[in-house]
Amino acid sequence: MSFRPGHVSDAAGQFELACKGLTDLDPLLQHQVRIGICVLLSTVGRMNFSRLSKTLKATDGNLGAQLHKLEEARYITCRKRFANRKPVSWYSLTRGGRRATERHLSAMDLVVNSAKPGR
């Protein structure tokens, strides 16, 4: 059977791709702040709490709760340092967190691309 754009089997294939993407999404990363944290950390390597809060426009309480969930899942690590006698928390992705972020973003890409008209 040859490939014909607009054919029913093409639509079924796109539906299957979308479903695969949806099932591959990581439930932990479906929260706006948590995926934001992971994407930022995958880009810059590490960030401190204050910078994460400003960049994501998240309240300290919300950011702290989301960071805690990611730490519990071992997606990120926290290192405490002191600067001018004040504690500074630095966050970075673990290998597992980086893999989970990459898988989640690939699944999102699959869902988005399968929903585009004419695909």
- If one counts the domains in the chain, the total is 1
pLDDT at 88 over 60: yes
CATH number for the domain spanning 77: value is: 1.10.10.10
**18-34: pLDDT as tens digits:** 566 677 899 999 999 99
Predicted pLDDT at 16: 66
- What is the rounded average pLDDT of the residues 86-113? 94
How far the first Cα of the chain sits from its last, in Å, is 18
Tell me if 107 is assigned to some domain. yes
- Name the burial class of residue 2, with classes exposed (0-12), middle (13-18) and buried (19+) by CB atoms within 10 angstroms of its CB: exposed
Q: How many CB atoms lie within 10 A of CB 81?
A: 10
Unique residue bearing structure tokens 């426009």? 57
**2-61: pLDDT as tens digits:** 444 554 456 566 656 556 667 789 999 999 999 999 999 999 999 999 999 999 999 999
Tell me if 22 is assigned to some domain. no
Tell me if 21 is assigned to some domain. no
Predicted pLDDT at 11: 57
DSSP string across 34-47: HHHHHHHHHHHSEE
Predicted pLDDT at 117: 67
* C-alpha separations of 116 from 11, 51, 65, 77, 119 in Å: 11, 35, 35, 37, 6
